[in-house]
């Protein structure tokens, strides 16, 4: 879901010790994993980075590198389920946490391009419960500039497991946000949670049904799904863990897991390849609409913020980059795309002490450090 205790994409308690241990061990340990055919020396270097995750019985990560439309590295390291000793493979389905936001944003983009709603529609047009939030628009929700208050500590989890409908009702009772819409950028899980009932109101479909029919099926994301209050089975589901003394304990369930939009999506590496390639084409929306997703939002005073529609925006070594991370229960996830080089890195992990973002730059350097752009 939700990056609850982080506003910069890093999980709480930045796990520098784990990263140092893994990088050091990678100098001495050969890699293994479910590697794609035709892996070269650079793929072996990536294997070496993650090789410490393959020793003993421990959770780990799934890693994919895509270059010029081809998977140049794909592997699983460690275990998806420690109890049943199921290894992680490219077909393992991970909870995406806040990486889900780019998919929620795309659902809005599809509806906008279809003429059903507009980015600058008042949110209250679709969610009358929020009519006290004057000036709040769909665009504000998508760009974390709406000022909605965090409600996770306030929502009732004692009588039942809350859903997005409960979240809307609670925000309606709160009646006001932390600041006027558009005044500043503040990373907002509630904003993305509100997009779900808005999408449902505009489309006349359930959010999960809309995502399946209008996003996942058209681009071939065969395993992707939304795990909402209907609690569907997730084939190949990966279990989340956290360190516990000398081992690991479960960190997979949470009372807020039925609230989706800011999170709640499951997908595999195979799904991410289809997603990545679709973002170069126009199967879902036009190129102009995609370009807007990767354009910095602007505050009321005209100041640009380094966020588009579900994507953080920056550069690395002179390359334009769009990326996003996720942190929820025992999952840590990250996708980084360099559209001008047609290069992407996807890292999905099921351990709370892991920082996937820390591996993005070394992997990028391995493949693009010699000018192959």
Domains and CATH numbers, the chain: 16-368 (3.40.710.10)
Mean pLDDT of 293-321: 98
Model confidence at 372, in pLDDT bands (50, 70, 90)?
Answer: low
Q: Are 77 and 92 in contact (CB under 8 A)?
A: no
Give the confidence band of 187 by pLDDT, cuts at 50, 70, 90.
very high
pLDDT digits (tens, 9 = 90+) for 254-296: 999 999 999 999 999 999 999 999 999 999 999 999 999 999 9
Q: How many whole angstroms separate alpha carbon 76 and alpha carbon 67? A: 19
Task: Tell which wins on pLDDT, 24 or 332.
Answer: 332
Query: Mean pLDDT score of the chain, rounded to an integer?
Result: 91
User: Which positions are catalytic?
Assistant: 98
What local confidence, expressed as pLDDT, does residue 246 receive? 86
| Radius of gyration for the alpha carbons in the chain, expressed in angstroms and rounded | 20
Q: Name which of 8-12, 32-36, 128-132 the model is least confident about.
A: 8-12
Q: How far is CA 153 from the centre of its chain?
A: 22
DSSP state of 282: S
Neighbours of 209 (CB within 10 A): 14
- pLDDT score of 31 more than 60: no
Average pLDDT over residues 108-115: 98
Q: Is it the case that residue 337 has pLDDT exceeding 50?
A: yes
Per-residue pLDDT at 363 exceeds 50: yes
Which pLDDT does position 324 carry in this prediction?
98
Q: Is the pLDDT of residue 373 over 60?
A: no
The confidence score (pLDDT) of residue 26 equals 38
Q: Which residue has the tokens 């990028």?
A: 364
Residue 9's pLDDT is what?
Answer: 34
Predicted TM-score (pTM) of the model is 0.90
Percent of the chain with pLDDT over 70: 88
Whether the predicted pLDDT of 191 surpasses 80? yes
Predicted pLDDT of residue 21? 40
Window from 3-12, 217-226, 227-236, 299-308 with minimum mean pLDDT: 3-12
**DSSP label at residue 340:** G
Q: How confident is the model at residue 370 (pLDDT cuts 50, 70, 90)?
A: low
Q: Which of 91, 253, 282 is nearest to 157 (CA)?
A: 253
> Which residues are CB-contacts of 161 (< 8 A; sequence separation ≥ 6)?
229, 255, 256, 257, 258
Q: Residue 14: pLDDT above 60?
A: no
Residue 5 pLDDT greater than 50, yes or no:
no
| 8 pLDDT above the threshold of 80 | no
User: Mean of the pLDDT values across residues 227-242?
Assistant: 97
The confidence band for 40, taking pLDDT boundaries of 50, 70 and 90, is confident
User: Which residues partner with 18 through β-bridges?
Assistant: none
């Amino acid at each position: 879901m939700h990056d609850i205790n982080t506003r910069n994409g890093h999980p709480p308690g930045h796990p520098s010790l784990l990263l140092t241990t893994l990088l050091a061990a990678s100098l001495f340990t050969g890699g293994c994993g479910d590697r794609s055919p035709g892996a070269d020396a650079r793929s072996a270097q990536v294997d070496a980075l993650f090789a410490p995750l393959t020793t003993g019985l421990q959770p780990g990560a799934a890693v994919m590198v895509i270059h010029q439309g081809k998977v140049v590295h794909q592997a699983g390291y460690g275990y998806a389920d420690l109890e049943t000793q199921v290894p992680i493979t490219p077909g393992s389905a991970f909870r995406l946490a806040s990486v889900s936001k780019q998919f929620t944003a795309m659902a809005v983009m599809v509806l906008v391009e279809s003429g059903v709603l507009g980015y600058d529609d008042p949110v209250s047009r679709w969610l009358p419960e929020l009519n006290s939030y004057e000036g709040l628009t769909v665009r504000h929700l998508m760009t974390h500039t709406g000022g909605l208050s965090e409600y996770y500590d306030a929502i009732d989890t004692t009588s039942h497991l809350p859903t997005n409908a409960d979240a809307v009702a609670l925000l309606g009772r709160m009646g006001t946000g932390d600041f006027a819409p558009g005044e500043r950028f503040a990373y907002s899980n509630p904003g993305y949670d509100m997009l779900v009932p808005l999408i449902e109101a505009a489309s006349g479909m359930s959010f999960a049904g809309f995502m399946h029919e209008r996003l996942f099926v058209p681009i071939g994301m065969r395993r992707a799904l939304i795990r909402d209050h209907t609690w569907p089975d997730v084939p190949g589901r990966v279990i989340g863990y956290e360190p516990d003394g000398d081992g690991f304990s479960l960190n997979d369930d949470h009372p807020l897991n039925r609230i989706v939009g800011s999170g709640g999506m499951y997908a595999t590496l195979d799904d991410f390849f289809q997603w990545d390639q679709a973002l170069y084409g126009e199967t879902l929306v036009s190129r102009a609409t995609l370009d807007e997703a990767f354009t910095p939002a602007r505050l009321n005073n005209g100041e640009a913020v380094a966020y588009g529609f579900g994507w953080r925006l920056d550069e690395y070594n002179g390359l334009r980059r769009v990326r996003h991370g996720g942190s929820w229960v025992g999952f840590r996830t990250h996708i980084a795309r360099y559209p001008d080089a047609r290069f992407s890195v996807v890292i999905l992990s099921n351990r709370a002490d892991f920082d996937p973002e820390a591996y993005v730059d070394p992997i990028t350097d391995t493949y693009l450090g010699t000018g192959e752009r």
